[in-house]
């Protein structure tokens, strides 16, 4: 198993439920999220920056 640190940018959502779903969906592209945090919000661009620790199987 490999542990990775990722930083991604996603679109800001209207409500917290949609934001949480968008976060989970985006992070699953990189592996299984262990923990994540919103580290920045750019309301002018409508973007949220996330940092996360994910795990994935070795290839």
Which is nearest to 50 in space by CA: 2, 33, 3?
33
Q: Please give the pLDDT value at position 26.
A: 96
Q: Residue 58: what pLDDT? A: 84
Q: Are the CB atoms for 6 and 54 separated by under 8 Å?
A: yes
- The pTM of this model reads 0.87
Position 49 scores a pLDDT of: 97
Q: Which of 56, 47, 58, 49 is nearest to 29 (CA)?
A: 56
List the pLDDT tens digit at each of the 59 positions of the chain.
999 999 999 999 989 999 999 999 999 999 999 999 999 999 999 999 999 999 998 87
Domain range annotation of the chain: 2-56
């Amino acid at each position: 198993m490999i542990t990775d640190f990722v930083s991604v940018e996603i679109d800001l959502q209207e409500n917290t439920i949609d934001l949480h779903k968008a976060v989970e969906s985006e992070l699953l592209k990189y592996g299984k999220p262990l923990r994540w945090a919103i580290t920045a919000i750019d309301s002018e661009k409508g973007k949220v920056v996330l940092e996360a620790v994910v795990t994935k199987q070795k290839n």
